[in-house]
Chains A and B, each alone.
Chain A
């Protein structure tokens, strides 16, 4: 059972906008920033969004992040077939001397 809660799956058709939610608590998302990672099949994860809504260099602006209270969301607009991947949210958790917690991951299917 992951500390951060994500839907196990999401789907959309090319060109659509999809959102993936990530729910936490006051000790993690409520008091720290959220990062999002994309993991394409058979590869290492890649940083997609950091500090709630910042995109690393090279990440298309189709990807955006937001946070409100103890929840966060990743939005993907103009969905493309290459966006089919697993997406994970992560945040620092202040409990237990501090540690990183991940969501269980959301498998995005492009129909």
Chain B
């Protein structure tokens, strides 16, 4: 069965960086893309960007351009999301989600369990 398992919760200071991992199993990793979606406490969903696990192409949300990098390691079927220059309003649960196809437009048919990132001095 398809599973996306994310790394554990993180606490970071303002200005620091965080790297969240998302290990996929149960399907051919390179046949699908991975999007990252975050949810601030008590708030809605925000799309952060997408990466093709086939060729590494990316599409980032404009507001995060320059601060976010998404990568994949096909040898371990793992996707990564790094966010730099953290601010308090980056505090959120971060989800990885598989796209139902290798395009940024694809709906998200499987989700990771979420990783809480807390940014606090």
Chain A residues close to B by CB (< 8 Å): 2, 32, 35, 37, 39, 44-47, 50-51, 56, 88, 90, 92, 96-105
Give min CB distance, A30 to chain B, whole Å.
Answer: 15
CB-based contact B111/A99 at 8 Å: no
Give min CB distance, B14 to chain A, whole Å.
Answer: 25
CB-based contact A101/B112 at 8 Å: no
The majority secondary structure among interface residues of chain B is strand
Check A45/B111 contact, CB under 8 A, given A98-B59, A103-B44, A105-B45. yes
CB-based contact A51/B107 at 8 Å: yes
The contact of A101 among B47, B59, B109, B113, by CB within 8 Å, is: B47
CB-based contact A105/B44 at 8 Å: yes
The contact of A45 among B45, B62, B104, B105, by CB within 8 Å, is: B45
CB-based contact B46/A102 at 8 Å: yes
Chain B residues close to A by CB (< 8 Å): 35, 37, 44-47, 50, 59, 61-62, 95, 97, 100, 104-105, 107-109, 111-114
CB-based contact B45/A37 at 8 Å: yes
CB-based contact B44/A44 at 8 Å: no
Check A102/B104 contact, CB under 8 A, given A44-B111, A44-B112, A44-B113. no
Give min CB distance, A46 to chain B, whole Å.
Answer: 7
Give min CB distance, A98 to chain B, whole Å.
Answer: 6
Check A102/B59 contact, CB under 8 A, given A35-B107, A44-B95, A56-B109. no
CB-based contact A97/B59 at 8 Å: yes
Bound Cα distance from A105 to B44, whole angstroms: 6
Check A88/B109 contact, CB under 8 A, given A44-B95, A96-B62, A97-B59. no
Report chain A residues within 8 Å CB of B45.
Answer: 37, 39, 45, 88, 90, 102, 105
Bound Cα distance from A88 to B95, whole angstroms: 15
